[in-house]
Each structure stands twice: as C-alpha cells, then as structure tokens.
Structure 1
Amino acid sequence: MRAVIADRPGGPDVLRSVSLPDPEPGPEQVRVVVEAAAITFVDTLIRAGSPVAPPAAFPIVLGNGVGGLIDLVGPEVDPVWIGSRVVTSTGGSGGYAGLALARVADLHRVPEALPLRDATALLADGRTAVGLCEVAGIQSGESVVITAAAGGVGGILVQLAKAAGARVIALAGSAAKLDHARRLGADAAVDYRDREWTTRLTAAAPHGVDVVFDGVGAEITATLFALVNAGGRYVQHGAAGGSWGAIDPTAADDGGVTVIPLSAVGTADDLFSFTERALDLAVQGTIRPTIGQAVPLDDAARAHAAIESRTVIGKSILLP
C-alpha cells in the first residue's frame, strides 16, 4: 500500500510517500480502505517535534482519523462489518495510508445522507467541538469568544454556539477567515493580527464575555481572560500560538471564572458519543464542516505547509 511516513521530526519536507506492506487486522480489529484521511493541527506538531505535541516514536505514519470501507476483519470479528462505510480513529497513527487498521470499538457508521469526506472532517473536530460546548454549558443570550474561528474546530464551535442562542465573537487572522466566520453565523469578527485588535474586541464585547474557547494560547490568553465576567468559563483547548496560555488560579478564583482544560472534555466513551452526536447534527443541518483543502496522499507535505502558513480555512484531508 501507499503511505506517507516521517522518518524524523522536522519541517513538512520530512514527509515522504513510500510503499509499505498491507496491514493485517488482529483481534478486535478491522481494515479500512481509506477514502479520506483527516489532517489535524496536532499532526503538524508531532511531525515538527513540538514540545506541546503528544510523544511519538519515529519513523511514524501520521494520522488518527480515516473514512472508508471495511474490506477485512480480524479474528472473531463479525464479518457483517465488511463493506460498511465508516469513519474511525486509528489509535493515534497510521491514517496517512491507503489501508488503515482500527478497533471495532472505535467504528462509526456513516449515515447515508452524509458525504464520507464530511464525516471524516467531523471525526476529530466535530467530537472536540461538541465536547467543548458540553463542558462550557453555553446558555442562550451569553457572549462567546471563539479563537481560530475559521479553523476546523473553531468553525464548528461558531455554529454550535449560535445554535445554543449565544452572541458569537469570532477571532481569526485574515479578512477571508473573518468573512468565513461571519458566514457561519458569527455576530462580530475581529482580526487578532490587527494592531488595534484588543480595542476592537472590547468594543465588540462592551459588557464582557461569558465563555472563551481558546485554541491559540500563548500571549492571547491574558487578554481574553481579562474580559471574562464573573460566572464565566474559560475553555483552554489548544496551543496554536506555540504554548499553552498561563492563567493564575488565584485570579480565576477571585474573578469567579471557571477554567476548563481540554482534558475535561470526557472519557473515551464520552468522546465516542460526541462523535455520534456530531454526525447526527451534520445530517440535521445544524453544523457543517468546511473542507479547505482536499489533496492527494502524496501531497501531504504541501498540505502541512499550508496549515502552518495559516492560509487554510477549515479542515484539511488527504485522498489516498
């Protein structure tokens, strides 16, 4: 089979296409003929050897989410799965390939009404956004700030927050991304690359904010945290800025702000149910993923470079 491998940490150019033996499913596993493989921002961090990335052993075939048809099952796995249209995680790696192995427990049947590419785009980002909204407990009428609002997770958060009746303030880094966030339903949009972005944000939220979804971290966290009202929630779910934002626990307690880490999203069972809910919400039309780039498997390096240049709107997927 064809696969994309990184022999060592480094820039996008460390990704190269190779031929590997076809994997064989073991007990409680199936094999998926991959039609779409999701790229996550975490993939780019792992590839780069970032200190905020999950630990990984090189060489590695990246990719923790795929969509396709099951063509083979392991010992004692019900053969009824063969031919099923699914999306699934892959245990942390192995997705950037023509064939991928997955546990039966991780399989999600894709509704007929949902395109497989959309389902693949929702696998990680959909469950993350649904889980984040669950722990944030958004109430109708609240003001919600969403960072990286034109990204895969951010774009879905915008839609979910609007569906909950919130006033949404989107933060993004270009005019095109701000326009996209508005199309998704954002009531206000601020470019945080603008020198006056803090003034514009304060003007967009004159009475403070109730919920912040911070997927950027770094220096932006202090600015956003200062705007959160008593009784508000600050959800830290990413470090796209290069480091997790620092929040003084005493300041949070004194201000009556609940700081919610990504780990609070839930257990493995919770994450599975969040994915199911995301797929259902997509079928209902409540949310829709934006696929900003869908490129051949051999162009994985180009896809990673585009993500790191922050030019991509929405989700990136590979097409084996």
Structure 2
Amino acid sequence: MLRVEEVEDPVPGEGELLVRATATGVNYFEVQVRAGVVPDPLDSPLPHIPGIEVAGTVIAAGPGVGRHRIGERVVGTVAAGSYAELVVVPAAAAAPLDERLGEHRALALLGQGATAVGVIETADIGPGDTVLVEAAGGGIGTLLVQLAKRAGARVVAGASGEAKRRVAADLGADTTVDYSRPGWAEEVGPVTVVLETVGGQTARDAYGLLTAPGARMVVFGSASGNPVEIGSQQLLPVGAPLIPFSLGYRPQRWPELVRRAEELTVRGELDPVIGAVLPLAAAAAAHRAFEARTAIGKTILTL
C-alpha cells in the first residue's frame, strides 16, 4: 500500500546533497518490489519510501561537498527514497540538469535511456536485422523502437493492447503484435534479434523465432515476474546465444550511456515518451496503471 505521510526532514551526510524535489520517475521495478513480486534488493524495513530517480534543486550539502552546489538544479539517482519532497542524493550521482531536455525528459533518460542505449549496443543491431522489441509501449521499449530503427533494422513491436501498439507504430515500428494473445509468435515469423524483458512463456515463444544464422537474444528484464528460462531441448536446436545486459553490473558505464541518450535527444534523434505526469499523491494510481498494463512510456510524479 502506498500513502503520503509526514516524516522528519532528512539530513545530508558525508558526500551527499539534500535536494528539494520537483519530480521523480516511476519504474516498474518499484511496482514489483512493492507488490512482493520480486525481492527488495535493499531489504528495507517497512514503512519505507520508494523511488530511485529525482529532479530538483540542491538546498544543502553535507561534509565534503562544495557549497557551490547549493541552488543547482540537478537530476540524480538514489538507492531508494525519491517519492518525497526532500531527497538525500549522493553528490556523485547528481548531475546538473540539462535545461535543453527539461526535468521530465531527463528523468526518462536517466535509467531507461541508458538501458536502451546499452541494450542496442549489446545486441549489435544494424541494417538487415529484424528486431522484436518486447514491452514496446513502456519507458524502455518506446526508446528501443526508435533506436533500432535508427540503426537500420526492421522493427516488430510487441505490446499488450491497441493503445501501446499504436504508440509503437507512431514511433516507427514496421509492424506490431499483441503478445498477450495465443499464437502471437506465428504472426511475427523469424527475427534475428529479440530484446527480451518479459520472461516466462513469452521469452520461450520469442526464442523460437531466432532461426536465422547469427540470431541472438539480449535479456535485460523479466517484467512478468517469471524468469527467462530456455530449456536445453529448445536451446540446442536453435543455438542462438542469450546475452545479458544490466546497468547494475556495469555501473561504471552508466554516465556514458546516459550522456549518449541525452545527446541523441538533444539532436532530435530520440524522443522520450512521457505517458503520464501525476502529483505525488497519485503514486498509488500510477502503480495501479503499471499493474493493469495501461502505463505508456515514462510516468512522472511531480511535487
């Protein structure tokens, strides 16, 4: 259950900033943790404040941080606690806000933009590829559709529901498919790349489409809550490699990937989809939209 409550103001410690938040991003992982679908990596005692992305203005600096940062508009990441008016952010994780982007687009690129750029790079997509983008109506998926098209690929956008399929088509997908329907894979036909983020039976069905030489699957999530499990009876005849990608295992690359996503956006080559902007008090409604599979693009909470 999510509810808004008053708590004591946080105090920045060594190497930390106190940010008066104006916006925070909502991510599906937070919904899964709250619902108990996946374990909380921090094992946080309840009640706790969720959220990992924040935009706002620095109002105080802890020891070891120059006071020149006070008054700076920043966008940054935290381990938890961004669904709040005041957020303590590690100074090293708070970057000056690029005003050309604005805080909503900057939040959309902070984690999801970096992931999308990294996934496309890992998949080594180029002309001649046919790419299946799963969850193509979501925050990462809407970016992947655009990046795969930019790389010269033919894009098949997989999404549940007509609204998400329309968004993917508007972003350049060559064809769309509703993978919540039985037999969806037969509509798609062979592909050379699967960008896998759903897991479970969807992943197994998608893997069966990788019949061309050089085909591969990049795994970067399991939104269904079910792991990506390809049994040897399916894996050995197909032979397509499963390649993992996670920012969590490549934290040193995060700033570079964010910068590349931001540069593409500033140049007009990438357009983050901001699907909903809601007040913080509507956080529970935002989570319900994710659970109902109706959330599109990036969801932002404002303060």
TM above 0.5, one fold?
A: yes
> Does 1:304 find its partner at 2:291?
no
The match for 1:86 among 74, 80, 95 is 74
Structure 2 unaligned residues grouped into runs of 5+ = none
CA offsets per residue over residues 76-129 of structure 1, 9 Å max, x none?
Answer: 212222222221111x20100001111121122222211111111221111111
Distance in 2 separating the partners of 1:270 and 1:181: 28
Q: Which moved more, 1:156-165 or 1:248-257?
A: 248-257
Aligned length, in residue pairs? 301
Structure-1 residue corresponding to 2:92: 105
The match for 1:315 among 280, 292, 298 is 298
Aligned 8 A contact 1:62 1:94 in 2:
yes
Structure-1 residue corresponding to 2:59: 71
Aligned 8 A contact 2:208 2:238 in 1:
no
CA offsets per residue over residues 181-210 of structure 1, 9 Å max, x none?
Answer: 0111101101123334222112xxxxx211
Give SS of 2:221's match: coil
Aligned 8 A contact 2:247 2:254 in 1:
no
Aligned residues: percent identity? 38
TM-score, normalisation: structure 1: 0.89
Distance in 1 separating the partners of 2:228 and 2:169: 26
Structure-1 residue corresponding to 2:231: 248
CA offsets per residue over residues 204-253 of structure 1, 9 Å max, x none?
Answer: xxxx2111111111111111101112312211112122211212368546
How far does residue 164 in structure 1 lie from its aligned partner after superposition? Answer: 0.7
The match for 2:119 among 126, 132, 147 is 132
Structure-2 residue corresponding to 1:219: 201
TM-score, normalisation: structure 2: 0.94
Q: Structure 2 matches for 1:167-246, cutoff 5 A?
A: 167-202=154-189, 208-228=190-210, 229-246=212-229
Structure 1 residue ranges (4+ consecutive) displaced by more than 6 angstroms after TM superposition: none
Give SS of 2:126's match: coil
Of Structure 1 and Structure 2, the greater strand share is in 1
Give SS of 2:213's match: strand
Structure 1 unaligned residues grouped into runs of 5+ = 1-13, 203-207
Q: Structure 2 matches for 1:276-315, cutoff 5 A?
A: 276-315=259-298
Distance in 2 separating the partners of 1:311 and 1:168: 22
Aligned 8 A contact 1:171 1:192 in 2:
yes
> Does 1:273 find its partner at 2:253?
no
How far does residue 272 in structure 1 lie from its aligned partner after superposition? Answer: 2.1
Distance in 2 separating the partners of 1:63 and 1:76: 25
Distance in 2 separating the partners of 1:47 and 1:303: 13
Distance in 1 separating the partners of 2:180 and 2:279: 32
Cα separation, partners in 2 of 1:264 and 1:46, compared to 1, 3 Å? closer
How far does residue 52 in structure 1 lie from its aligned partner after superposition? Answer: 5.7
